[in-house]
Amino acid sequence: MHEMSLSMDTVDLVVEQATQQGFNKVTKVWLEIGVLSCVEPDTIKFCFDLAAKETIAQDAALEIVPKAGEAHCYDCDKAISLAQRGESCPICHGYKLKVLQGDEMRIKEIEVE
C-alpha cells in the first residue's frame, strides 16, 4: 500500500514546514491528488490520520482537492480530458497519449496555529 508511505512523507513535510515557521499546531491540510495518479483518496485520508499521530499534525483535517486528467493524443494531435488511466482518446479512440496533468499529488495549502 503506497498510500501509507505517501501519507508519511506528506505529514513529515507538513510538520517540517510548520515547525520551521514557528507554528505549534497544524489544523488543516489541502492535498491535491490527480485522477490519473493511482492514489486512492479514501486510503490517503485513513493513512494520513495514522501518520499524523503524536505529531503537531495530529487531528488535522485533510481536504482532498481532485485534479482533472489531461493528455495529448498523438494520433489526432488534440488535447483531451481523461477520467482514468487506460482510457482511449474520446475523439479518435487512439491510445498514443502523453499525460499532461492529473498524475501528480501535492500539498496545496496548510492551515496552522
| All three cell numbers of 7 | 501519507
Task: Look up the pTM and report it.
Answer: 0.86
β partners of residue 29: 62, 110
> Residues 28-41: pLDDT tens digits?
999 999 999 999 99
Q: Which helix (H) or strand (E) holds 108?
A: strand 105-112
d(CA 65, CA 106): 10
pLDDT mean over 61-75: 97
The arithmetic mean of pLDDT across residues 96-108, rounded, is 96
CA separation for the pair 50, 97 (Å, rounded): 37
pLDDT over threshold 60, residue 104:
yes
Name the average pLDDT for the chain: 96
- Whether 44 has a pLDDT exceeding 90, the answer reads yes
